[in-house]
A and B are shown apart, each in its own frame.
Chain A
């Protein structure tokens, strides 16, 4: 939980990665999926999730689809064509970053 600040800069990459794996997701689903994947280590707050989603949407990386579920409307996010390209680029950047960090923090071990 103390690592939240370290994760903060990677939030957009995390969202893009999740949407790359699943065709479309809604806000609450994203928070739960991240919690599940990180075994509760990373807890995305609403105050961090929605600004990130809205930024990606404004940049044209995400598209929106609305559907009626249980008497209310659900807004799904999905990757646009540009979003798919950006995801690949962001993931490559992230891998490079992790490799660099690994070589500084623990040079004996390699990610490869």
Chain B
């Protein structure tokens, strides 16, 4: 037996109450619950079937947080688990790249005999341009995502994991240009590692932005109707 509009709305209300608002997961669960109820309605009423199905799903909607996403960021278990499955591999890949960068940069910086005397202003200018470009890009993607008026797991990760990095700019800001060059007139290993982390964040931001756009475009034709 097929569900009517009111019954579907009732299920949607249940999902909203449980905090399942991200389209890539919401429509999938709505369909699963609805199909399950429809099959049960061959033998029992909608109300009984809905209660039975809710019992199965409730444990997946228990509010939880994770060390990986920051303990203050909580949400339904099934959603947070999906976020972790996306975020954790990226975190490990980034860690690997940082280790490679640190090893190569530190070795090359120590081996090469060079001096940045007279180039301080150029280094400072390039870093400032890089920072401006970084901030501009992160804000541009943020606005583009907001304009799509739909939330996905990827937009959540962007808002919670990428946006806070803009505040880190205050710590590693371009006005600290003196810190980027050591007293020995060489590139500062610590500060450039910081810049590399910013670069990786930009790659992560681009990944979340692209996946969000891809997900929204999958649903676009139906969301407009």
Q: Mark A48-78, 1 if CB is under 8 A from B, else 0.
A: 0011001100110000111011111111000
Majority-rule SS of A interface residues: mixed
Given contacts A51-B78, A71-B5, are A66 and B218 in contact (CB under 8 A)? yes
Q: Residues of A contacting B5 with CB < 8 Å?
A: 71
- Contact partner of B89 (CB less than 8 A), chosen from A26, A54, A58, is A58
Q: Residues of A contacting B24 with CB < 8 Å?
A: 64, 75
Interface size on A, residues (CB 8 A): 23
CB distance from A32 to the nearest CB of B (A): 9
Q: Would you call B146 an interface residue if the criterion is a C-beta within 8 Å of the partner chain's C-beta atoms?
A: no
Given contacts A72-B34, A73-B27, A75-B31, are A47 and B85 in contact (CB under 8 A)? no
Q: Residues of A contacting B2 with CB < 8 Å?
A: 70
Q: Residues of B contacting A45 with CB < 8 Å?
A: 56
Q: Does A58 contact B28, Cβ atoms closer than 8 Å?
A: no
Q: Does A26 contact B57, Cβ atoms closer than 8 Å?
A: no
Q: Would you call B35 an interface residue if the criterion is a C-beta within 8 Å of the partner chain's C-beta atoms?
A: yes
Q: How far is the CA of A54 from the CA of B27 in the complex (A)?
A: 14
- Contact partner of B31 (CB less than 8 A), chosen from A28, A51, A64, is A28
Q: Mark B52-78, 1 if CB is under 8 A from A, else 0.
A: 000011011000000000000000011
Q: How far is the CA of A70 from the CA of B31 in the complex (A)?
A: 10
Q: Does A66 contact B219, Cβ atoms closer than 8 Å?
A: yes
Q: How far is the CA of A72 from the CA of B218 in the complex (A)?
A: 14
Q: Residues of B contacting A73 with CB < 8 Å?
A: 27, 30-31, 219, 222
**Which residue of chain A has its CB nearest to the CB of B38?**
A70
Q: Would you call A46 an interface residue if the criterion is a C-beta within 8 Å of the partner chain's C-beta atoms?
A: yes
Q: Does B28 contact A50, Cβ atoms closer than 8 Å?
A: yes
CB distance from A19 to the nearest CB of B (A): 16
**Which residue of chain B has its CB nearest to the CB of A70?**
B2
**Which residue of chain B has its CB nearest to the CB of A45?**
B56
Q: Does B85 contact A55, Cβ atoms closer than 8 Å?
A: yes
Given contacts A27-B32, A46-B32, A73-B27, are A54 and B85 in contact (CB under 8 A)? yes
Q: How far is the CA of A59 from the CA of B78 in the complex (A)?
A: 18
**Which residue of chain A has its CB nearest to the CB of B219?**
A66
Q: Does A72 contact B31, Cβ atoms closer than 8 Å?
A: yes
Q: Residues of A contacting B29 with CB < 8 Å?
A: 50
Q: Would you call B99 an interface residue if the criterion is a C-beta within 8 Å of the partner chain's C-beta atoms?
A: no
Q: Does A66 contact B27, Cβ atoms closer than 8 Å?
A: yes
Q: Residues of B contacting A74 with CB < 8 Å?
A: 27, 31
Q: Would you call B36 an interface residue if the criterion is a C-beta within 8 Å of the partner chain's C-beta atoms?
A: yes
Q: Does B56 contact A75, Cβ atoms closer than 8 Å?
A: no
- Contact partner of A72 (CB less than 8 A), chosen from B27, B36, B78, is B27
CB distance from A78 to the nearest CB of B (A): 13
State the 6 A-B residue pairs at the shortest beta-carbon distance, nearest first. A73-B27, A75-B28, A28-B35, A54-B82, A55-B85, A28-B32
14 contacting pairs across A/B (C-beta < 8 A) = A26-B31, A26-B32, A28-B31, A46-B78, A47-B78, A50-B28, A50-B29, A50-B78, A65-B218, A71-B3, A72-B30, A72-B31, A73-B30, A74-B27
